[in-house]
Copies of this chain bind each other. A is one copy, B any other.
Amino acid sequence: MAAENGVASSDHESHTTQVQKIDQIATRLLSSPPILEMENLHKASSNGVSFNIPGWYADVALSWPGEAHLYEMEKVLFHGKSEYHDLFVFQSSSHGKIVILNGDMQLTEKDEFVYQEMLTHLPLCSIPNPKKVLLIGGGDGGILREISRHYSVDRIDICELDKMVIDAYKRFFPDIAIGYNDPRVNVYIGNGVEFLKNVPQATYDVIILDAFHCIGPVEEEVGEKSFLESVAGALRPGGVLGCPAESLWNAEFSLSNSIAKCREAFKGSVNYAWCTTPAYASGMIGFMLCSTEGPPVDFKHPVNPLNPENYGVAKGPPRFYNSEVHTAAFSLPSFAKKMFGSKILSTYE
């Protein structure tokens, strides 16, 4: 669907070109807050709908045509543009502060902790004693906050493209950006793809991708084969990747294809988990977990349980994650098992 809109074309264009394209849309989307225009973004049959509702923000995702989620805005807090991003922050009446990045919902204060905790602890709790962790993207600092709960970790590298993102979060979301307070954190401002090219083989125990799009039906994102291979190369044998993956409710998403692609690049275990996230389309998001060849990893059964008493730099215990929801997150509905196919099985399915 997305490809038809001419926004996410299937040729392998550079990340910069993508960002520029998205930027153009974002400019249209955000040209006149608090009244946001969305003309012609929907498929043709909607005849160019425009959601002009004063005081409300309409969240529309190109890969979810025919629906929109509206939020009442109490106050526009920030609207900035950098070389890479259009960042829009507003106070909603129902979900706390909300961040829109390049026209896409990034997070709401109401439920950000679910995504941050699951994307962090699913991989980190799946291997014993993780020490070196790389985060690509995640400039908000929420994943850093969650990594901080792991005392075994001695080095946390983050490669974020856009300093504006970091600065905005530090200003408007101190409880998220608090992750930067961890003294183990090393910040690199730059392109994650380039950063990975310079990482020596087998450097990290865990890599978390919190950038680009989800693993899913659109090709030119984290799912690109050469990129996944560079991630696998940067991981030690039996090291793990955690990244967001498309919702099971996205009709274009083939879980089977995505798992096959990851399996080819990583050669260890591959598994898919999901959880409730009201802010994202369909109310859920998925996660892809991959391990490289080496000591086997059983993602479904965490071997490194999180001690909820270890806050790290966070101000309290995890609000969503616990070992029980970790395992439950891998339970697939029957339609997803069918989509998953019988041919492709994770090492520990």
Interface residues of A (CB under 8 A from B): 42-43, 45-47, 49, 51, 53, 55-56, 58, 64-72, 74, 92-95, 110-111, 114, 248-249, 274, 276-278, 282-284, 308, 317-322, 324-325, 327-329, 331-335, 337
Contact = CB atoms under 8 A, between A and B. Distances in A.
Instruction: Please indicate which of the listed interface residues A283, A319, A325 has the most CB atoms of chain B within 10 Å of its own CB.
Output: A283
Contacts of A284: 276, 278, 283-284
Q: How many identical subunits does the complex contain?
A: 2
A284 B277 CA distance: 9
Given A45-B72, A66-B72, 19 more contacts: A49-B56, A58-B70, A64-B94, A65-B72, A66-B92, A66-B93, A67-B94, A69-B69, A248-B276, A274-B276, A276-B283, A278-B282, A278-B284, A283-B283, A319-B335, A320-B335, A322-B333, A322-B337, A328-B331
Contact of A333 (B42, B49, B53, B325): B325
A70 B282 CA distance: 12
Contacts of A333: 114, 276, 319-322, 325
Nearest to A330: B328
A74 B110 CA distance: 33
Contact of A111 (B53, B249, B334): B249
Given A55-B49, A69-B70, A92-B66, A324 B317 contact: no
B51 A65 contact: no
12 contacts: A42-B72, A67-B69, A67-B94, A68-B70, A276-B283, A276-B284, A284-B284, A317-B334, A320-B335, A322-B333, A325-B334, A328-B329
Contacts of A277: 283
A117 to B, nearest CB: 9
Contact of A70 (B51, B55, B337): B51
B331 A319 contact: no
A195 to B, nearest CB: 33
Contacts of A249: 110-111, 276, 278
B278 A283 contact: yes
